[in-house]
A and B are shown apart, each in its own frame.
Chain A
Amino acid sequence: MKEYSIIGKDVPRTDAEAKARGSALYTDDIRLPGMLHGRILRSPIAHGIIRSIDTSKASRLPGVKCVITSDDTPKIKYGNWRLFPETQDEYPLAVDKVRFIGDEVAAVAAIDRDTAEEALELIEVEYEELPGTFDVESSRAEGAPVIHDYCPSNVSVNRKIKYGDIEKGFSESDYIREDTFSFQAISHAYLEPCASLAQVDLDGRITLWTSTQTPYIVQCLLASTLGMRENDIRIIKPYVGGGFGGKMELRPWEFCAALMAKKTGRPVKFTLGREEEFLAGRRRHPMKIHSRVGFKKDGTLVAKDLRIQLDGGAYNAMGPTATFLCGNFGAMLYRYPNYRFLGEHVYTNKPPASAMRGFGAPQSLYASEVQMNIAAEELGIDPVDIRLKNAQVSGDQIPDVATISSCGFSESIRAVAEMSGWYEKRKSLKPGQGIGIGCYSFISGGVFNWFNTQYPFSAAEVRVFSDGTAHLLTMASDIGQGSDTVLKQILAEELGLRMEDIRMTSADTAMTPQGDLGTWGSRVTLMAGNAVIDAARKIKEQLFGAISARFNLNVIHHVECKNGRVQATARPDYGMSFGEAVAMVQKANRGEPLFARGSYTPRGKGLVTPAFGFGAQIAEVEVDRETGLVKVKNMWTAHDCGTVINPRSVEGQLAGSIQMGLGYALSEQMVMDGGRTVNVDFADYKMPTAMDMPPSEVVHVDTYEPEGPMGAKETGEGLASPTAPAISEAVYHATGFRCKDLPITPEKILKAI
């Protein structure tokens, strides 16, 4: 492996000190002179016609500066799937109709929050309630209430994948397994509630500071819904307190802040309360999965027929992508020579589900992995061995969809089996104790251009200076995962500089190069990383030329940037400091500053992603047969994320994924009563605490991804998937209870044993 000086080292995150001091500014920390506070009025009913809205009393309340309803807006729909405008089904404020409890109906801006809150109560809305539908079966039933007029079937998107010959596959199978699984909604539960602050410049343009994962998407959609030009909107992403997929769309309060700032001439800030976040916020899709798999006697997979219905809630949000991806993940991990997928995205009168860490994989892979375990048992094969037998390897193809480049899947399975003492423990654990395995594969960014961006998928600008420093500008968005640090590491490594030589401006749409699609789908390291390298190499070309000319180097000389110098590799004395080399290029260009643009757009990489990460995880549990409580005692993980750029960050991503996976498996769910989310605070929404976290060991399998920057690919999002199936199998091993409807609660266990 290549020797790096900064890549793969424990470089502390460059934003950590500001965060440790409490000086890092998040959106709600920003205050501007004359700023107003906004609040949103939400629908109390799940489905209904808005007969009338009377805002006059609210407007007359002293301190209230602005009240808006959809009548004050241009009534332009938006949605992330710009490529297919018919999927854009949302208005910033409800027009004529509300479709879920929490749907945004009106907004108020006042001199303080209390006044804004009081004004909400003075807005009078008359609804004509309509029957609602709260699960996919009722939405698809004959005569079901129609949620969007354009979509009488309530099925807004369907996606098919098909290859091989499914009928033939099943007819050649010795063993066929058919199961139905169901999944609950869970909350992203990022600690920072959404917040947005808008200000209007003198020339009428809008600046919006907002807690987002996707500044560019917000810029474009805010412009289109306001009927303005893209460049009239500037989005600045301050520090963001987590997103996990929940902050990647235009949101109504961003729109309202901008519009009300325009109407009042004063800055307007919205900060959501936690109750609103739970009641109306985006969530992971509840799903119904029906899966039929065929095997040969020896455990070889022959066919898979997968049908998934996503309970999308009232709007599409990122549901179309999740629908699409479920089918891709269903075909991952193992070689399914014959495969068929039908995914349907179904409207219901519930808060919209959207992207959440894993993006369809946690559900789709839970079904795959549980069925793999069932099949292993019924065919008398060890769960580890049946996986090794079918595991995808480098070079495997999913016809028309993807080709797998680097792949350390089998190595991961073997490594995790060994670390955990799998074969021994499988035999020797006492009753009530169990051990189970779950695996994952995940994308390193998406290829499919649903947003219809007109720019590269990622871009970077690098400016270098004669004082030996560099300035990196990119729209890539650090929302807490650490991408700013990773991108600086990549640039420092390429230019032979130190971390402290690099300054960075990120995620400001007026300052950083167009474009970047944002932080989702584990795309940042690979895509923005490649853009940074592209820019850095252009800079290096110029520096190398200057060195070459200055020392009259034979053209065959290799020149490098290393340890703050630019030099001939074979003759380091033919060289000079980085800053001197920059000065020389600048002189040669008669003062022109030295900078370069780089970009990355995946091309010829199929329909899904340029690179897949892989991994396997084993959980050991103990189940209390009296209470049904599951204690996870140990977790072992082996994964393939290509080159590890920042080991501490990768381990942090892993531990964070285990926390979320643990919650998904055992305790977290948004409890619904019809269309109402019942548990709307952290006391009732049960997230694992420090006390619940098991000890965990990890091995990074050594691979190199040719498409990735310095060989790196995704990490941290894929890891959201294996924990639940691993725990589920361990619970089965301990108790004989096989859970097909998450979460695995004590009640379900007690009922079964």
Chain B
Amino acid sequence: MKHNIKIVVNGDEYSLAVDPWRTLNEALREDLNLTGTKLGCGTGDCGACTVIVDGRAVSSCLTLAVSVDGKSVTTVEGLAPSGDELHPIQEAFIKTGAIQCGFCTSGMEIAALHLLSNNPSPTELEIRKGLSGHLCRCTGYNQIVEAISVAGEKMKKCCHEEERS
């Protein structure tokens, strides 16, 4: 029997009928066509499928769609404010060369968002720890770590300015 669920994804509300075994990853990618979230392993080991659910970073491949009923989800598609602008995390990933094949990128960016929202000035070690559940086979991580610290600086500055104005 299918279950009716309501989820808010990147600010938009959706009603879906899903099988009880359908994962959030399948619901996002196949039902909502939000294919920015990837599937690298399906076993919770690579981090490519990471999304934020009510402020927590989760592996969408291990999360059942029914369990996010009534909750709010942020995916990579929710990062950029518009087609002309990018989120500081995205800008930093592009600028520092943190993207090669790009398959780990959306999970990495979401991890960065989660990390920086909880810890706006992470040390290098904290960033590396924050990424330890995320695999990348191309970049050797160093440029990703750099991107996250660059983004952190930028985000502090704009938040600061927002506060002042």
Contacts and interface: CB of A to CB of B under 8 A. Distances in A.
A302 B141 CA distance: 42
A17 B137 contact: no
B76 interface: yes
B104 A655 contact: no
Nearest to B91: A20
Contact of B102 (A28, A241, A656, A660): A241
Q: Most A CB atoms within 10 A — which of B29, B76, B100, B134?
A: B100
A25 B33 CA distance: 11
Nearest to B127: A690
Contact of B139 (A21, A26, A652, A683): A652
Given A20-B90, A274-B43, A191 B136 contact: yes
Given A28-B39, A690-B145, A21 B76 contact: yes
A3 B86 CA distance: 33
B120 interface: no
A21 B102 contact: no
A240 interface: yes
Contact of A691 (B33, B102, B129, B144): B129
Contacts of B141: 655, 659, 689-690, 693
B75 interface: yes
A292 to B, nearest CB: 35
A16 B94 contact: yes
A274 B86 CA distance: 32
Contact of B131 (A239, A273, A649, A690): A690
Contacts of B1: none
Given A12-B95, A22-B37, A655-B142, A190 B137 contact: yes
B159 interface: no
Interface in A676-704: 681-683, 687, 689-691, 693, 696
A708 interface: no
B45 A192 contact: no
A290 interface: no
A348 B109 CA distance: 43
Given A13-B99, A29-B35, A656 B137 contact: yes
Contacts of B40: 191-193, 241, 274
Nearest to B61: A274
A189 B46 CA distance: 11
A480 interface: yes
A531 interface: no
A92 interface: no
A328 interface: no
B140 A656 contact: yes
Q: Most A CB atoms within 10 A — which of B36, B45, B137?
A: B137
Interface string A356-388: 000000000000000000000000000000000
Contacts of A244: 137
A17 to B, nearest CB: 6
A244 B142 CA distance: 19
Contacts of A28: 35, 39
Q: Most B CB atoms within 10 A — which of A192, A654, A687, A693?
A: A192
Interface string B39-78: 1111101101000000000000000000000000001110
Interface string A418-450: 000000000000000000000000000000000
B42 A274 contact: yes
Contact of B76 (A15, A22, A696): A22
Contacts of B90: 17, 20-21
Interface string A658-684: 111000000000000000000001110
B105 interface: yes
Contact of A191 (B29, B128, B137): B137
B137 A690 contact: no
Contacts of A682: 41, 43, 45-46, 135
A479 interface: yes
Given A19-B99, A480-B101, A660 B94 contact: no
Given A16-B93, A21-B79, A479 B135 contact: no
A693 B93 contact: no
A141 interface: no
B45 A681 contact: yes
Interface string A239-282: 11110100000000000000000000000000001100000000
Interface in A630-674: 648-649, 651-652, 654-660
B143 A651 contact: yes
Q: Most A CB atoms within 10 A — which of B39, B45, B140?
A: B140
A687 B105 CA distance: 17
A691 B103 contact: no
A248 B97 CA distance: 25
A687 B135 contact: yes
B68 to A, nearest CB: 19
A121 B106 CA distance: 35
Interface in A198-250: 239-242, 244
A19 B102 contact: yes
A28 B48 CA distance: 14
Interface in A534-549: none
A15 B138 CA distance: 15
Contacts of B137: 188-191, 242, 244, 656, 659-660, 687
B41 A656 contact: no
Contacts of A687: 135, 137
B119 interface: no
A190 B41 contact: no
Contacts of B79: 21-22
Nearest to B105: A19
B80 interface: yes
A188 B139 CA distance: 14
A31 interface: yes
A715 to B, nearest CB: 13
Contact of A690 (B36, B93, B99, B134): B134
B94 A20 contact: yes
A652 B103 contact: no
Contact of A651 (B42, B97, B131): B97
B97 A652 contact: yes
A25 B35 contact: yes
A658 B34 CA distance: 33
Contacts of A12: 94-95, 97
18 contacts: A12-B94, A12-B95, A15-B99, A20-B93, A25-B35, A189-B135, A190-B101, A191-B135, A242-B101, A480-B100, A655-B139, A655-B143, A656-B137, A659-B136, A682-B43, A689-B132, A691-B131, A691-B132
Given A274-B41, A687-B135, 12 more contacts: A16-B93, A191-B38, A191-B138, A242-B103, A480-B102, A481-B138, A482-B100, A648-B97, A654-B140, A655-B143, A660-B137, A690-B145
The 7 closest A-B pairs by CB, nearest first: A22-B36, A480-B101, A655-B140, A241-B103, A19-B102, A22-B76, A682-B45
Interface of A: 12-13, 15-26, 28-29, 31, 188-193, 239-242, 244, 273-274, 479-482, 648-649, 651-652, 654-660, 681-683, 687, 689-691, 693, 696
Interface of B: 29-30, 33-43, 45-46, 48, 75-77, 79-80, 86, 90, 93-97, 99-106, 109, 127-129, 131-132, 134-145
